[in-house]
C-alpha cells in the first residue's frame, strides 16, 4: 500500500511538472504582448502633439466685440483701378488709378494697425440687429469690375488676409480690361462679396423711373444669373441717389446701398446711403492714414521715401508683378 502511495505521488509530481512546462510558453507570450502595447502607444504619441500647434493658431473670433444695433463706426473705403494711370507723367493725373506699390503699402498699414475686413452683409446685420465684429472692422470695396482688381488687388489682399466687395457693372463684364464672370466667381469662392453697380453705369438720378427700375432691379437678377452668387447690396454710380433710386433698391431686395461721404458713421439712418471714402491715387500714405478712425503703433508707419521721377511722355508705363500670396 505504501508503494502504491509513493507511486501515485511521483506520478502527480511528474504531471504537475508537465503542466508548468505547457503553460510556460503562453505566459512568455503574454509578457511579449504586454510589452508591445506600450510600444504601439508610443508610436501614436507624436500625432497627439499636433493638436496644441493647431489650437495655438490665432483665432480672431474670441476677441470680437459687439457693434450695434443702429449706429456703428465702420469705415468703408472705395477703389476703382489698382494700376498705373496711362496719363502718369503728364500734367493730368487720374485720381481713379492707385499705383500697385501704394496700394500694397496701404493694405500693409491696415494689417499692421489691426484692421480686419468684413462684408457689407455683416455690417448691415450689425446695424439692424447688432452683431459681433472684429475690434477694427473695415469694408474694402471696388467699383466697376476692372481687370486689375483680379490681377493685382486680389493677390495683394490675399497676402494680408483681406477680402473685399466687388461692385460689378453688368454690361462691363468680359469687356476689354474688365473681369470675366469666371474671374469674379473665383474671387467670390475665395470669400469676396459681389454687389451691383447697375446695368450700364448710368447716373440713376438723371433717368426716368422705368430706366431706374431696369438699372437697379434687373442688374441684380442678371448678376445672380450670370455669377450664381447672392447680390445683396448696390453701389450707386457716381455715388448719387434720390428717393426714387432708394425705393427701387428696396423693391429689388437689396439690404443696403453705397453712396459716398466723409464719415465712418453707419446706421439705420443711412442704410441705403452708406458712407464710403473714395481713395484716390493722388493721396499719399499719410493722407490715407488720416482717413482711418483707429490709428496704430507709429512704428508700423512707413518711413518717407523719395518720390520716383515721373515716366517720360511717350515711354511705356512700367509693369507691376504682384507679390506672391502667402
Strands (E), the chain: 65-67, 72-73, 76-79, 81-82, 97-98, 116-117, 131-133, 137-144, 165-168, 193-196, 233-235, 256-258, 265-266, 277-278
Does residue 273 carry a pLDDT above 60?
Answer: yes
- Considering the chain, what is the average pLDDT of its residues? 80
- Tell me the three cell numbers of residue 256: 443696403
Name the residue with higher pLDDT: 45 or 126.
126
Q: Name the band, by pLDDT with cuts 50, 70 and 90, for residue 315.
A: very low
At residue 191, the pLDDT reads 98
pLDDT at residue 302, rounded to an integer: 66
Find the mean pLDDT for residues 208-219. 98
% of the chain beyond a pLDDT of 90: 68
Per-residue pLDDT at 9 exceeds 50: no
Q: What is the mean pLDDT of residues 195-212?
A: 98
**In the structure, what pLDDT confidence band is assigned to residue 96 with cuts at 50, 70 and 90?**
very high
pLDDT at 47 over 70: no
* pLDDT higher than threshold 60 for residue 42: no
pLDDT value at residue 21: 38
- Rounded-to-integer distance, Cα 125 and Cα 259, Å: 18
Confidence of residue 14 (pLDDT cuts 50, 70, 90): very low
Tell me the three state secondary structure of residue 202. coil
Identify whether the C-beta of residue 259 lies closer than 8 Å to the C-beta of residue 222.
no
| pLDDT for position 216 | 98
Amino acid at each position: 500500500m505504501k508503494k502504491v502511495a509513493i507511486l501515485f505521488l511521483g506520478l502527480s509530481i511528474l504531471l504537475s511538472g508537465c503542466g508548468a512546462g505547457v503553460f510556460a510558453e503562453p505566459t512568455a507570450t503574454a509578457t511579449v504582448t504586454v510589452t508591445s502595447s506600450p510600444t504601439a502607444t508610443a508610436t501614436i504619441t507624436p500625432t497627439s502633439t499636433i493638436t496644441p500647434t493647431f489650437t495655438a493658431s490665432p483665432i480672431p473670433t474670441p476677441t470680437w466685440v459687439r457693434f450695434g444695433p443702429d449706429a456703428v463706426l465702420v469705415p468703408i473705403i472705395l477703389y476703382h483701378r489698382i494700376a498705373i494711370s496711362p496719363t502718369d507723367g503728364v500734367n493730368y493725373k487720374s485720381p481713379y488709378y492707385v499705383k500697385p506699390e501704394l496700394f500694397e503699402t496701404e493694405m500693409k498699414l491696415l494689417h499692421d494697425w489691426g484692421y480686419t475686413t468684413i462684408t457689407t452683409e455683416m455690417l448691415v446685420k450689425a446695424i439692424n440687429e447688432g452683431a459681433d465684429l472684429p475690434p477694427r472692422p473695415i469694408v474694402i470695396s471696388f467699383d466697376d469690375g476692372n481687370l486689375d482688381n483680379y490681377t493685382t488687388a486680389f493677390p495683394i489682399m490675399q497676402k494680408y488676409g483681406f477680402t473685399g466687395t466687388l461692385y460689378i457693372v453688368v454690361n462691363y463684364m468680359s469687356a476689354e480690361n474688365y473681369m470675366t464672370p469666371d474671374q469674379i466667381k473665383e474671387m467670390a469662392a475665395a470669400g469676396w462679396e459681389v454687389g451691383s453697380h447697375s446695368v450700364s453705369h448710368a447716373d440713376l438720378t438723371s433717368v426716368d423711373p422705368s430706366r431706374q427700375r431696369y438699372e437697379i432691379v434687373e442688374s441684380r437678377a442678371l448678376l445672380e444669373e450670370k455669377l450664381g452668387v447672392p447680390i445683396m447690396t448696390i453701389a450707386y454710380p457716381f455715388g448719387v441717389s434720390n428717393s426714387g433710386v432708394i425705393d427701387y433698391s428696396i423693391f429689388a431686395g437689396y439690404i443696403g446701398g453705397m453712396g459716398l461721404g466723409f464719415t465712418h458713421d453707419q446706421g439705420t439712418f443711412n442704410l441705403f446711403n452708406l458712407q464710403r471714402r473714395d481713395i484716390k491715387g493722388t493721396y499719399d500714405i499719410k493722407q490715407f492714414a488720416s482717413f482711418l478712425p483707429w490709428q496704430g503703433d507709429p512704428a508700423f508707419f512707413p518711413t518717407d521715401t523719395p518720390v520716383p521721377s515721373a515716366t517720360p511722355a511717350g515711354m511705356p508705363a512700367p509693369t507691376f508683378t504682384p507679390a506672391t500670396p502667402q
